[in-house]
Amino acid sequence: MEKILSKKALPQWVKTLTSYKVYFPKKDKDERWNYAEIDHEDINLAFLNTTLPPKKLLFPQKELFLEFAKTADGDQETLEVKEILPDEQPVVIFGVRPCDARAAWLLDKVFAGEFTDPYYWKRRNQTTLVGLACDTPPWENCFCLSVEGSPCSEEGLDILLTDLGDKYFVKSLTEKGATLIRAGKKVFQNPKPEDQKRAQAVQAESVKKIKRQLKDARAISSTLKRMFDSPLWDEESMSCIRCGICTYLCPSCHCFDINDELESASPLKGNRVRTWDTCQFPDFTMHSSGHNPRPEKASRLRQRLCHKFQYFVETYDKFQCVGCGRCISLCPVGIDIIKVLEKVNQHGT
């Protein structure tokens, strides 16, 4: 289904979505773009990209898994464990950049398969992603084209909006997307043939504006395998201050920890929670004996890159990187995965 939505009519559409919790990009107090639940005065898609990807709305930085509590009845103590799944609440996220939606599509692969993650899928299935094609690269380090994405890719999205100046070209991609459009039916017009052509022209133009490129990304998987013991990893990780920003801001990184948090030790009462974790911390892999398979920064940088460009490719035949460029633009010491991978390619071939 394809429609036209005038920019002025966007708030009207959003107002019809009464059963949904609606998120839009919004500048926070630190002047960073972030996804926030809207107040209806602030409906605006004039943004580049958010610092934190929308991943947190599908896979929160911290989420409750279960509650446990001991209750005493005389001498009889009973332990109760209660599963806490996310609330039933349809969500719509507006202004998801195509790279971040592709990252959700990659997370789908991780959280599906033989073992389905019920927490992720409860959220994912009730969330509609309304994408916004990039007419300008949001970051100077965007390189989506090199990892099989594009500024107007559709994977992971339910609707794709393309900015035509005073209006959006609206393309529904899934049943969830169609439902959202049906909800606001009166605000949409049918596209004219020239609208379609203009949308295609905007998309074709945007592709030309991506400056950075990772050459021959498909070849990297086998090169990485050969370069496992290379001294290059030491050199390239030397400046790392192991802050983990590269992974926390990554839209496709999925590593997590599971821990118990106590509300009361006696009587026992607490929560089991899942939190984001990062392969860049030494204790991520450290055994309780002290043995650590990845004790040095070098092995951890190698893990991050091998996971994204070798292991994930071997398992799913996809890069686990969408080329959003956040880890490059926001690394405090300037570690640049494109440059590191280019060196890997130079040295390993």
Partner 1 sequence: MEHNLYLPKLAEITGIKEEVAGARAIKTFRTAFTNGTRLEYRCGQCAMLSVFGKGEAMISISSSPLVKDYLQFSILKMGRVTTALHELEVGDIIGIRGPYGNGFPIENWKGKNIIFIGGGIGLAPIWSVLQTTLLQKNEYGELTLIYGARTSNDLVFRQECEDLKRKMSVFLSIDVAEPGWNEFVGFVPQNVLDKKPSPSNTVAITCGPPIMIKFVIKALKDLHFEDGQIYTTVENKMKCGIGKCGRCNIGPHYVCKDGPVYSWAELKNLPQEY
Residue numbers at the binding site for partner 1 (CB under 8 A): 65-66, 68, 79, 81, 83, 85, 110-111, 113-119, 122, 228, 254-260, 262, 265, 268, 270, 272, 277, 279, 284-289, 291, 293-294, 299, 303, 306-307, 310-312, 314-315
CB of 254 to partner 1, least distance (A): 6
Query: Of the two residues 160 and 313, which places its CB atom closer to partner 1 in the complex?
Result: 313
Question: Quick one: which of 254, 212, 243 has its CA closest to 331?
Answer: 243
- 316 vs 312: CA distance, rounded Å: 6
Output 47 or 65, the one with its CB closest to partner 1.
65
φ, ψ of residue 328 to 5 degrees: the values are: -85, -50
How far apart CA 87 and CA 102 sit, in angstroms, is: 25
The alpha carbon of 43 is separated from its chain's Cα centroid by a whole number of angstroms, namely 22
Cβ at position 62, least distance to partner 1 in Å? 14
Alpha helices (H) in the chain, listed in sequence order: 10-16, 55-58, 98-111, 118-125, 175-183, 193-208, 217-226, 232-237, 245-248, 297-306, 312-316, 326-329, 337-348
Q: Amino acid identity of 176? A: K
Nearer to partner 1 (CB atom), residue 36 or residue 85: 85
The residue length of the chain stands at 349
Q: Which residues contact 190 (CB under 8 A, 6 or more apart)?
A: 2, 3, 4
> Cβ 210 to partner 1, closest distance in Å?
29
Least CB distance from residue 27 to partner 1, whole Å?
32
The nearer residue to partner 1, 236 or 277, going by C-beta atoms, is 277
Where do the H-state alpha helices sit in 238-296?
245-248
Taking the complex as a whole, the smallest distance from the CB of residue 55 to partner 1 amounts, in Å, to: 14
**R_g (Cα) of the chain, nearest Å:** 22
Nearer to partner 1, 39 or 114 (CB): 114
Rounded Cα distance, 65 and 110, in Å: 18
Q: Tell the smallest beta-carbon distance from residue 21 to partner 1 (Å).
A: 21
CB of 70 to partner 1, least distance (A): 8
| Alpha helices, H only, 24-72 | 55-58
Pick between residue 110 and residue 178 the one whose CB is nearest to partner 1.
Answer: 110
Residue nearer to partner 1 on the CB measure, 259 or 349 = 259
> Residue 110, CB half-sphere, CA atoms under 13 Å: how many?
24
Query: Which CB, 26 or 294, lies closer to partner 1?
Result: 294
Strands 21-27 and 33-37, how do they pair?
antiparallel
In the complex, the smallest distance separating the C-beta of residue 342 from partner 1, rounded to whole angstroms, is 22
